[in-house]
Chain A
């Protein structure tokens, strides 16, 4: 079963628009961790944020913000006033504590964001 769903395959916006990338996850664990990564055209995945299942407080980092809602099993990512440099593929990932002695992640399929000037 798909553990992490990123329903938006591709999104295109014009610079300075706000954009939200959706992430819905599925787990039976009470302790788990959610991550967002950015993959620019260079290919390397860049870590953006980690959130544990006990902390539902929303987080803001500059133009980036994350909305974690356990009630809907969602961990959405919003970019405010988007810029061309935000163009990338963004991945949401889940790591479950109940998977034993490892921390392998389950990744969504990714959302390709294109920001046009």
Chain B
């Protein structure tokens, strides 16, 4: 079974803090993704990575950055957290860049920015 883990289930931070969300997958997948989920909006793609040190912007990259130094690990960084970044963050991975590939998700991190 594919296993995608995220470093925290719940996180509370203050405005202006730097926040790191970590994601690890154990199936040697090429692609990794970060989404945020908000009520009524579904999942929106923030960034994805198709290889080590490679990254592509998704639909809502503003205020975020990412890092992929190792194939199994994909980090989402909020350089200066703001209250409008309070959300559920979901990490996913897929075997390859083919559009047919299923994405497998981690349990999510609920981030509250005060």
Which residues 93-107 of B sit at the A interface, judged by CB distance below 8 A?
94, 96-107
Give the number of chain A interface residues (Cβ < 8 Å). Answer: 31
Are A33's CB and B106's CB within 8 A? no
Identity of the chain A residue whose Cβ is nearest the Cβ of B90 in the assembled complex: A45
**Set A45, A97, A103: member contacting B94, Cβ < 8 A:** A103
With contacts A35-B102, A107-B43 known, is A44 near B97, CB below 8 A? no
A10 nearest CB across to chain B (Å): 11
Are A50's CB and B100's CB within 8 A? yes
Give the residues in chain A near B102, CB-CB below 8 Å.
Answer: 35, 47, 50
Are B104's CB and A47's CB within 8 A? yes
Chain B interface size, under 10 / 10 to 19 / 20 to 34 / 35 or more: 20 to 34
B105 nearest CB across to chain A (Å): 4
Residues of A bordering B, CB below 8 Å: 4, 6, 9, 31-33, 35, 37, 42-47, 50, 52, 91, 93, 95-97, 99, 101-105, 107-110
Q: Report which residue of B41, B100, B108 has the largest number of chain A beta carbons within 10 angstroms of its beta carbon.
A: B100
Identity of the chain B residue whose Cβ is nearest the Cβ of A43 in the assembled complex: B108
